Structure 1
Amino acid sequence: MPEHEPEQELGPKIADAFQTKADSARGFRSQGMARIARGRVRRRRQTLIIAAATVVVAVSIGGVWGAIGGPSPVSTSAGDSKAAAEGSGPLSDSPQAPSEDSGTACPQSHPIETAPGPEAVPPGTGLDVEQPVYGLQACRYRISPGDPMLLGSAGFNADTAQQVVDAIKVLPERNPDLPVFKCAPSARAKEAIVLRFDTSRGQREIWVAYDGCASVGFFTGSRTFGLYAAPLKLFMKGTVRPAGGIYLDHLKGW
């Protein structure tokens, strides 16, 4: 019978103990790595949640800022660029002024031909001399009863038109240098001039009387200005310039 040796019994026990220790260590390492992985996943999830919350807050603040009048975002689309270009253009509704001496806008017949006199401008037709003007057509008419007609015409640009208005609106109601006639009932004017101004409210007129005996001056229907040479020189040109007139014959400088 072989002799029992203690070393032979301790050897397997020690080996089993070491193996159990190693297994336990591996188990602990596996659990530790799992915990680390789960911790990393949780931190990443928290980071994503915080980032999303930050975006939501930023969008909310941006909406409130826009609502209370903060700077609006600048659009670079072609449509917005076109709208901005159109919006930056002039806001004026003024009509286009005719070219100098166009002479094409005067009607062949006009109410002045049948009016009681060159001072009888119809309501709503006369020019407010404080209103800006953008062009002028000067039309000379023969207003003799039974033989009315357009005698001459000329077109003037905005600058000249405004000069005419500015020269008229400072005049008194009567020129004291002109004579006062005792007029017979039949002493009607043979001709007169209509000044047709382009304005933002449409065409408005001033009637000019320089012949006959009863009426003389510039008439708007609501105001009367005396006959002076300064405005006449600006538009009495070409076929608009009369050969004479009862009052013109006594007026110098026209």
Structure 2
Amino acid sequence: MPEYEAEDELGPKIADAFQTKADTVHGLRERGMAAEARRRIRRRRQTLIAGAAALVVAVSIGGVWNAVGGPSPVATSGAADSRAEGSGAAGSNDVPKVPDPMTTCPERHPLLTAAGPEAVPLGIGLDLRMPVYGLEACRYRIVPADTMLLGSASFNASTAQQVVDEIKVLPERNPSLPMMDCPTNAIRGTEAIVLRFDTAAGPKEIWVGYDGCGSAGFFTGSRTYGLYAAPLKLFMKGTVRPAGGMYLDYLTGW
């Protein structure tokens, strides 16, 4: 009978153990790789589902927004015009609201009872730093007991601002006009003009004296500007244009 050798039995067991270990490791590796693959597939599926859900929500919101009157991606010319016309509406601080145009020249005006065209009441005169949006020129006969509106003319914002710009650079007196010495009954003159400007603070005025020997120039109540032809020719048109005047006779180009 052959002698029993422990080594003969141990060798196959060790080999078997290594094989089992290898199979186990290989199986774990395969299972791990399979699990990783499944995890990646799930992740990709979740990403696709989330993206699809976000798209559905975006489309839904867009549909609701359009349904309740939200802006379309491309504005039509009509929509652009509407926004331009409404730029001065409440909530907009960029563009000041242009006041409504003034009515025609009043038949009864403070000028008719004032001491003269230089006597502009407090609060009526225009601060020449203010923006203006329109102009109503009113020519009055100021003879006591025979006062009346002689003529009027309306001018747009551009002309109104041009009149203001021409006046505010003038000196207090035109040195080319003579200093007149005349009787009391000729001091006031027979007529004068009121320039009524549209402003954000309501109508503001400049009174214009060109007849009578008492005063000549543009008066705001706080400032006096000399009488020059450059501003006069901008508004002395139509029924606002006088036939002449004591100081106008010394001016040319009006």
1:190 matched to which residue of 2? 190
Correspondence for 1:78 among 58, 63, 68: 68
Give yes or no for the alignment of 1:168 onto 2:167: yes
| Identical pairs, percent | 66
1:158 matched to which residue of 2? 157
Structure 1 residue 95: Cα displacement: 2.2
Structure 2 counterpart of 1:149, which letter?
M
Structure 1 residue 90: Cα displacement: 1.6
The answer (yes or no) to whether the contact 1:97–1:158 under 8 Å persists in 2 is: no
Deviations 1:116-160 (A, max 9, x none): 111111111111111111111100000011110000111111111
What secondary structure sits across from 1:197 in the alignment? Answer: strand
What secondary structure sits across from 2:174 in the alignment? Answer: coil
Provide closer, same or farther for how the CA distance between residues 81 and 120 of structure 1 changes in structure 2, counting only shifts above 3 A. farther
Q: Which has the larger radius of gyration?
A: 1
2:114 matched to which residue of 1? 115
Structure 1 residue 77: Cα displacement: 5.7
1:90 matched to which residue of 2? 87
TM score, norm. by length of structure 2: 0.64
1:207 matched to which residue of 2? 207
Unaligned ranges ≥5, structure 1? 1-46, 56-72, 99-103
Structure 1 residue 87: Cα displacement: 7.5
Unaligned ranges ≥5, structure 2? 1-41, 51-61, 73-78, 89-95
Question: Partners of 2:211 and 2:147 in 1: how far apart?
Answer: 15
Matched pairs, number? 186
2:134 matched to which residue of 1? 135
Deviations 1:70-125 (A, max 9, x none): xxx9x55636659x988773232112458xxxxx6111121100001111111111
What secondary structure sits across from 2:181 in the alignment? Answer: coil
Question: Partners of 2:244 and 2:98 in 1: how far apart?
Answer: 35
TM score, norm. by length of structure 1: 0.64
